[in-house]
Amino acid sequence: MEPTEYLFELINKSNISLLGYTFKEERIKDEIISKVSHIELPEINSSFSILSYIRDSKIDTILNNKTETPTHFLLDINNFMVGRGETSRANVIKNSLQRIATELIDTNFKLLITCPIYTKMGNDEYNFSGGNTGLYMADFVGIIREDRVRIMKNREGGSQIDIKYDSK
């Protein structure tokens, strides 16, 4: 089992990271994201532009004399809003994530996505709320279960291992 520092190393190396969690583990999810330098993205709708948001964040940094520039944008899948006439929440999430990932390519920012997961009765398989687009796009995917983060995907190499989460 790997130490907690390894989790943050993987998140910082990855352009897109996805953390899945059940509502029982929401406290651990909050602890993990509090240790990653980030700006939380607001509600996402079809007119959201990450490039406009980056511009506004840079202006805010200059006007308010902020010295630290966060490395990640934090996107919670629960922040996606579906408007009238849009086909489904999963399609809105898929299209928005693809657009955000494309716009972030030429920036120095990374994306940390948090997503509730659920399991079907009698099945250990994980299902991501809003579909699996984040799973396919991410360089790193971790599932928070009890006091461990199970690495489901790691483009840096390595197999499915557990990281014991220590909140120190």
Cβ pair 91, 85 in contact under 8 A: no
Helices 89-104, 50-63: axis angle to 10 degrees equals: 60
The structure's pTM equals 0.85
Choose between 111 and 120: higher pLDDT.
111
Helix (H) or strand (E) holding 23: none
| Burial status of residue 133 (CB atoms within 10 A of its CB: 0-12, 13-18, 19 or more) | buried
Specify the range with the lowest mean pLDDT, choosing from 79-83, 103-107, 122-126, 150-154. Answer: 122-126
Which tokens go with 58? Answer: 């840079």
pLDDT band for position 83 (50/70/90)? low
Which tokens go with 117? Answer: 């997961």
Sheet strands (E) in the chain: 16-21, 38-40, 72-76, 110-119, 126-128, 140-145, 148-154, 162-164
Backbone angles phi, psi at 3, to 5 degrees: -75, 165
Q: What's the alpha-carbon Rg for the chain, to the nearest Å?
A: 16
Look at residue 1 in the predicted model and tell me its pLDDT: 62
Query: What are the extents of the domains in the chain?
Result: 4-164
Look at residue 158 in the predicted model and tell me its pLDDT: 67
Question: Is 35 a residue whose pLDDT tops 90?
Answer: yes
